[in-house]
Structure formats: structure tokens, C-alpha cells
Structure 1
């Protein structure tokens, strides 16, 4: 009987076919829903050798324990917050991700959310369709020249900063420590960065260490003219705190591609026209998704050939 490749994230038929053709010696089991995953592990766990997943779906230690031959877990995309990496490594299971495969797409989307939030594009679109002319609407502020504070200046954050340079935006950032070779202003305090910034953009990894990092105190520091943009993980932002801050005018608005309630919409924010929402698509484009599939295949081939993964965790 063939070993199994278990695919836990949503795929289009062409990409499933590409995986099957790339690994003809494997049975591919496609189980993108939680109940399908449970059924697949129950029926085929004994012969699962490799798992393809995403950060939000992840793979728990309990699931890995039910797959005794599991040797490789790969996340498509950069995030891997719900994969139990510590358990995997302690049990000799290689872990990889798709770092770099959708960075350009995420950076583009981040700029779009920022412009839409600051310039009020979505609410002005609604007003125009309702017959309201500009003289009845408040003046939206410039994006150019605003101070951009990036929380998590990794690869994606750096690409966003590069795009912001075209808008003449001074860039500051907060990481656990300064990045070498980076000229942007470093803030060792998130509160100090929020107080300095006109736009606070979240690009930090998810997980327990960053849960509700953006809270009432940070939003108060950002202030009544400030905007929040989140293209990282929904768990980083306290949704209720953001709703309260926008509703009370303590921040001017927000643009979010991710939120705590995924895949359900954030009910606390739906009535607020100063908040622009998209359904976790910042990393989705035909180009980015194809890159992610190609990277997974490359990682799995390296593993099967006894070579280091292209992008190990």
C-alpha cells in the first residue's frame, strides 16, 4: 500500500492534480474541512507520511500522535502558528513553510488597505452610489507624508516599507531587537511606536506570544487621527478594544484582512464604516498561490531526496 500525503488546506483542482502528478508514489488524501480531517486521520493515519496545511489550520500534537509514520509537515504560506513545531521536532518530524511565496501580494494588499482606510474609499463609494456629492462629505487626509509604524519588520514588513517610500512616508518599526542594515527608526517600545505613528501596521507573526498585542493602551497611544492596518493574524488585535476605540473616536479607522472570528466576520466591526474589511485574502493571488504550491512540492521533494528543505522552520 502506498504512503499517504494528507492535504488539509483548500486547493483548486489544478493544484491537486499538480501534487498528484509530482508524487505518483503517494496516495493523496484531500481533507480541507475539520470533519474530513478527522475522518482521514482515522482511516489513513497509519500510512500518512507527509502533511500539507496552513498556519491557521495547523497540525496538533494529538493529530501527529495518530500518524506514527509522519515525517514531514509543511505550511503553505509563511504562517505556522497552529502547527505544534516543538512536538514535531522532538519526534524527528521535519517542518517547513512557504516563506517568501506571497510576500509581494501581502505587501500590495497592505498598501491597498491603508489607502482605503485613510482615504475613506469604501465609505465614499457607498456615499456616491447613494447620490451624495463631495460637498456633503468630510475631507479625507493624505496618505503621502504620514508616519508609518510597522509592528514586525520581517520580510513582508520590509516590502511594505519599500512601497511606503514611494508615498514619502517616514517609517518606524518595533521588533524584539533592531534589524541589522535597516535605516528605519527603531522603537524598543510598541507604545512609543504607536504614539509616533499616523498608521500602525501589524505584520508580526501570530501565536500566543502576540495575542492581543494591539490592545486598548496601544490604540489610545495611536490616537484619534491614527489608523490601524492588520495583515498578520487576527489574534494580534483585540477586536472588541478596536471596535470601542473606533466607535468612540479614539482612533480614526482601520483596515483589516484578518480577525479573531475567522472565517466568520467580526460582528463588533460590521457597523463601523471607518473600518475596511477583506476576508483574509492578502496573500491570495494566482501568482502567490501557485508559488505556494510550487514551494510545498519543492520542500517535499527535498525531504524525499534526503536534502534540506527549501524553507525549513
Structure 2
């Protein structure tokens, strides 16, 4: 008999078909369906597939007495009650490593689009404006790239930065012995040094508004911010104020505090490039994430160690 799996995030039909070969699926990618499935089927559920932003609460875990495995489809797990799950003896895994390259690619797409003002130049071209009527945009190459969070994604961003002849610096809770980049013990010091500040740190209470008005002031009017991590890391109101006052050169954001609602407060700000939390989404990345979930599930139900357990 197949174990029952509750899926709390959108999964394409062909991927659900692959998952259904191993599980009886309860599909609830919206809040109403989620509550209904847990209320009526909670006793049968042995595994949950979710994502970091959607999460899984302690109360929901307690409503599923047979639950033994929780997996995040992506790398993030900030809204999963991990400690509570562990106290119940429930295994927790994530999709670490499956979309790192895709996210790093998107981070540089946002950086290039923002620094070189690609959306504005596209609009000007469509309006018939020639280059002589437009301000010059700076080089991306030959500058300083500061990375907040030198994990697997941060390191891939750094490698791409090297390809643009950028000097790399980073801020972590502690320096990495295996990294040859310059370490800064505070995000403010990193921002003051950098021309570009890319946010690649986990979300959650510990990093909420890590990028605040003081960090944006340190980055300065010639500086650019890119966030492909979690919207909560950046103080949106402070960012809007800095952009409107000309105290920041520009920002490229894939994540927002308001998501899935768009960051309306930024709509009238100059030089902002916005995408709807798609940095980790590509056919290759999603397929890899589903494949890794299936391997973690296979290992768990076979009594083997997980491939990517959440620390």
C-alpha cells in the first residue's frame, strides 16, 4: 500500500504523475484545500511536501499523528516547524542544491538589468528614443560584489562575479575557511565596501530586515541591491525611501515582504527591476527538485539516511 502524501505547493501534472507512482497523493496547493485535507485526512498522512514560504506549522504537524517525513521542494525551510517535527521524531529534508545554478543565473540577470537599466532602455527604444538622448549607464565589470550569505547559492553567485572581473567580499555569521574571498564581520561594513550587494541568506526571524536604512545608506547612491533570498531580509519601506531620495542606484528584487501580492510601494520608485519569485524556477531546476524529493522519500521509507536532511 502506498503511503499518503500531502502536497502543499503547486506541482505540474507530469511531476505529480511521477510522484503518484510511489504515493497516494492529497493535493492542496491553496489554503482552503490545505485546511480541509488536514482536517479530514490528517490521520492517514505519512509525508508532506511543501516549500519554505508555505511551510508547515506545529499545529498542522500535531493534526497528523502518522506523519514521519516533511520535505521542502526548494532549499528554504524557514516556515516549517522543524524543531517541533524533530521533537515528534519526524524526518525533515529539503531541496538543497537542486536550483542553485538557476538562482545564481537569475541574480546576475537582475544585477545586469538594474545596473545597465535594461527595462528602461527597452521602453525608450520602443518609444523611438535614440541613445544620444539617454544617460550613460556604468559598467558591471571591474567593480566590487558583496554577497550576504556565502552558502551554495552565494558561492555560485561569486563564481559568476569572477567571470565579470568583480572583486568579491561576503558576510556570514562566521568566515568560511574554504573561501578565498574577503570576509566582513558586519553587513554594514560589507555594504560600505561594495558596489553591488546581493542577498543570498536564509529567511526567518534571525535575518528579518537585516538590510535596513543604515545598510542602504552605506551602499549609497552609486550602489545596487539584488535580493534573491527572502523578502523579509530587506526593509521594503526603507528601500522605497532610499530609491525615491536618490540614495541608492537601483534594486533588482525577486522576492518581497508582501508576496504573493506585488510590492506596490516600489512601483513608483526609480530603477527597480521586479520578478515574481521565479529565480529558482526552470524546467531543469524543478525536475531536479522533484527527483531529489523522491530520492529522499525512497531513502526514508527504506530506513536509509536522507540525502539532504535539514540541519
TM-score by length of 2: 0.98
Matching of residues 115-126 of structure 1 within 5 Å = 115-126=112-123
Q: Counterpart of 1:187? A: 184
Q: Deviations over 1:179-199 (max 9, x none)?
A: 012110000011110000000
Aligned length: 310
Question: CA–CA distance in 2 between the matches of 1:180 and 1:225?
Answer: 31
Q: Counterpart of 2:199? A: 202
Q: Counterpart of 2:109? A: 112
What is the CA distance between 1:55 and its match in structure 2? 0.3
Unaligned runs of 5+ in 2: none
Q: Deviations over 1:139-161 (max 9, x none)?
A: 00000011000000111000000
Question: CA–CA distance in 1 between the matches of 2:187 and 2:137?
Answer: 27
Q: Equivalent of 1:68, from 55, 65, 68?
A: 65
Q: Counterpart of 1:214? A: 211
What is the CA distance between 1:136 and its match in structure 2? 1.4
Q: Counterpart of 2:225? A: 228
Question: CA–CA distance in 2 between the matches of 1:118 and 1:2?
Answer: 51
Q: Deviations over 1:251-289 (max 9, x none)?
A: 010000000111111011112240000000000000000
Given that residues 123 and 273 in structure 1 are in contact (C-alpha distance below 8 angstroms), is that contact kept between their aligned partners in structure 2?
no
**Moved >2 Å (runs of 4+):** none
Question: What SS is found at the alignment partner of 2:210?
Answer: coil
Q: Equivalent of 1:38, from 17, 35, 40?
A: 35
Question: What SS is found at the alignment partner of 1:179?
Answer: coil
Q: Counterpart of 2:11? A: 11
Unaligned runs of 5+ in 1: none
TM-align CA RMSD: 0.9
Matching of residues 13-28 of structure 1 within 5 Å = 13-21=13-21, 23=22, 26-28=23-25
What is the CA distance between 1:2 and its match in structure 2? 5.8
Question: CA–CA distance in 2 between the matches of 1:247 and 1:175?
Answer: 30
Q: Counterpart of 1:131? A: 128
Question: CA–CA distance in 2 between the matches of 1:273 and 1:251?
Answer: 10
